[in-house]
Structure 1
């Protein structure tokens, strides 16, 4: 997959107006681990199976500068031998211009409707793969796969195995497996997240790739990474888990930082000195 991601960036940089365009696989605006891995893995699958002429391109639906806040994402990428430098972010590709030029196809993963800010891109949506409540109106031009499993990557794994199992290698399997395990809370039934299909494909990945990290170890590592703010500035820590509520002209931002105030001040001071 690393070669594929590098080629995506290179093609995007050198893309001429006369080329066929792109088949963008777009995750949701949260860009959590499930959204990121679903976009990367499904675009990689399309690069091996698509014959439309358009170039499959995974796009992470946040600005690049926000990506360091997704510490579990950066951890799993690093553990899988992939560089965030090779990723394409929403502020690095003009989807509206591509659409106006007739050079954009869209697949939505980990969400099934576009936000109002992207309403003009609706005509480009050809496919949806998601595990949330279906909000999308039926359309003959859009193939919809929506199933309430624990992780959207479970549905992506299913599609790959059913249509092109040769796409799976150790690197892709680790991305998919780690995401399923994290989303399904280490596959623990008492957490209320895992479904039989999640378990089926987690076990299948374990069986076909016995060198995957042990399930419990991988889950704990991802959990630790998710709440690790040791490499973030104070501003980044405040943004990492910020929620915004609004009413009329009033907006209120509430942030959560998983450390004491004393530790936070000392950490920020040490980062400033470095």
Structure 2
């Protein structure tokens, strides 16, 4: 697989057109793995007219914040040097020149900043709530499973099982195990299809890491925020939304709410984060684990605008 990933940079330089496979703006492990493996699968298709190229939907400078993804790549034997990132590919320029085909994985609608790219979308595979209108020219696979990597595994297993090797399987397996919280039913993430394809990969590749040990290693890597600034912690696992004048950042923070609120200079850091990234409201969702290793989530809302704070808090209280 590494040879394929390294060849993608040459495709970027030399091809007059590009078929990009891209995950969402959070670029978590599921999004990264789904983009890499689905592009690799498409590249093996006899119907492939343009070499599909996976693009990670963050700037390269932000990738060090994805510590769990870096760990999985290292354990799988893949170098992050061969990856392509959003700031290295001019999607809007390609689209303007009618040279872009776009496949979306782990999301099914583009953010407002990329809305003009919508007519370049040729396929979608996702596990979130369907938001895009149906179109005969764009096949859509959307199913509420725990991990998008499950749907990618299903497609490969059904259409081209020979594409699966130890590296591809370990990437997919790691993403499924982490997203589905070690396949624990009490976490409320895993579905029968997730379990089916986790077992499928385990049986086909008996040298995969032991499930529990892999999950714990990935979890430890994901929750390692030692040495990160508040800005880096907010960017580590963030999704953005906008509507009217509101630009909202929702960030997962991997510590207890108490520990987060006790960070020195937190209010000033949040103010600077909003200013530097043009957000006017931040929702921080902290996640930690109780003694039974069950996830425990809490929310904190920050905005310099009293109106925005009160509107969001009111909306949250209505859902309780």
> How high is the TM-score relative to the length of structure 1?
0.86
Q: Is the 8 A contact 1:241 1:257 kept in 2?
A: no
Unmatched tracts of structure 2, length 5 or more: 265-320
**Residue by residue, what CA displacement relative to the aligned partner does 1:179-223 show, whole Å, maximum 9, x if unpaired?**
100111101111111111000000000000000000000000000
1:6-27: CA deviations, max 9, x gaps? 1102322x325xx3x1111010
Provide the rounded CA distance (Å) in 2 between the counterparts of 1:254 and 1:189: 25
In the other structure, the counterpart of 2:173 is 177
CA distance in 2, matches of 1:84, 1:132: 27
Q: Using the alignment, how far apart are the partners of 1:193 and 1:252 within structure 2? A: 23
Report deviation, 1:249. 8.3
CA distance in 1 between counterparts of 2:233 and 2:59 reads: 17
Q: Map 1:189-268 onto structure 2 (within 5 A).
A: 189-230=185-226, 232=228, 236-237=232-233, 239-240=235-236, 256=253, 258=255
Q: Does residue 47 of structure 2 align to residue 51 of structure 1?
A: yes
Determine whether 1:78 maps to 2:74.
yes
How far did 1:244 drift? 8.1
Unaligned residue ranges in structure 1 (runs of 5+):
266-274
64 and 254 in structure 1: CA distance in 2 versus 1, 3 angstrom threshold: closer
Partner of residue 111, structure 2: 115
C-alpha separation in 1, matches of 2:122 and 2:239? 32
Question: How much does 1:88 deviate?
Answer: 0.5
Q: CA deviation at 1:59?
A: 0.5
How big is the shift at 1:168?
A: 0.3
Give the TM-score normalised by structure 2: 0.74
**CA deviation digits over 1:87-137, x for unaligned, max 9?**
000110011111122221111000000111111111110100000000110
Q: Which has the higher contact order (CA 8 A, sep 6+)?
A: 1
Aligned to 1:8: 8
Separation of aligned partners in 1, 2:252 and 2:144: 30
Q: Displacement, 1:255?
A: 8.6
Distance 1:126 1:254, change over 3 A: closer
Supply the distance in 1 between the matched residues of 2:232 and 2:128 (Cα, whole angstroms): 28
CA contact (8 A) 2:54 2:84 kept: yes
Distance 1:65 1:197, change over 3 A: same
More strand by share: 2
| SS at 1:45 equivalent | helix
Range with greater deviation from structure 2 (95-104 or 78-87): 95-104
> What's the Cα RMSD here?
2.6
User: 1:96 aligned to 2:95?
Assistant: no
> Residues 157 and 201 of structure 1 are in contact (CA less than 8 Å); yes or no, is this contact kept in structure 2?
yes
* Residues 26-51 of structure 1 deviation map (CA, whole Å, 9 limit, x = unaligned): 10000000000000000000110153
